[in-house]
Chains A and B, each alone.
Chain A
Amino acid sequence: GQSLEQPSEVTAVEGAIVQINCTYQTSGFYGLSWYQQHDGGAPTFLSYNALDGLEETGRFSSFLSRSDSYGYLLLQELQMKDSASYFCAVRLTGNQFYFGTGTSLTVIP
C-alpha cells in the first residue's frame, strides 16, 4: 500500500515563510502534487513535481527529492487567506493519486 506522512498542524505568522513536509513510501511513483483545501470547499491544485528540484509558482514553491522520497511545499509572504489544509499526493502508475492526511495551516496576525 501507499504511505504518506505530513504534519497534522502548523501555525505561522502573517508575512512569514512556512514549509510543509511530506514523506512517502510507495511503488510506481511518478510525481508529487500539492493541493489546498479551505473549510467546506473542494481541494484545488497548487503544484506538481515529477523531477527532483524546486518548482516556483508565485508565493508558493514545491520541492521533490526522489532519492529521499521527500518533498515540501514552501509558502512565502503568508497571508490570512492561506489558512487552509494542504495535502500532498503521490501520482502512481495508471494516474492513480493517493493523498496524505493533510496539514492544517493557521496563519496568525
Chain B
Amino acid sequence: DAGITQSPRHKVTETGTPVTLRCHQTENHRYMYWYRQDPGHGLRLIHYSYGVKDTDKGEVSDGYSVSRSKTEDFLLTLESATSSQTSVYFCAATPGTASNTEAFFGQGTRLTVV
C-alpha cells in the first residue's frame, strides 16, 4: 500500500455535522487524490492535489473541501454532511512522473450519514 493510511476507517455521523477524513502517506509522493466509491459509479474523483497548498476540483466536488498543508497529509472535509455523501472514500497518491504513474490507494473510509 506504499504507506497510505486513512483515518478513521469507519464513521457514522449525523446530517448537518462537519466531518474530516485524513489521509497520510509516507512516500513523499507529489500527487494525492480523494475518491468516493458507490455502487454503479465506480471511483469518482472529488479533489486532488499537485503539491503543498495546491489543490483542484474533480468531477464531484460539491459539498467537499480539501487541504494539504504538508506533503504527507491530505484532508477531506464535508462541511455539512448529507445522506447523499454516505459512501466509501479512498485516498490515493502517486509520484506522477513519466516513468511512474502507479497510484497507491489507502484502505478506504466507510462513512455513513444518518
Contacts and interface: CB of A to CB of B under 8 A. Distances in A.
If over half of A's interface residues share one DSSP class (helix, strand or loop), that class is named, otherwise mixed; here it is: strand
Nearest to A101: B42
A102 interface: yes
Given A1-B59, A42-B106, A98-B59, A91 B101 contact: yes
> Interface size class for chain A?
20 to 34
Contacts, number: 61
Given A91-B101, A96-B58, A98-B59, A42 B107 contact: yes
B35 A99 contact: yes
A102 B103 contact: no
B112 to A, nearest CB: 16
Given A96-B45, A100-B42, A102-B42, A33 B59 contact: no
Contacts of A95: 31, 48, 50, 94, 96, 101
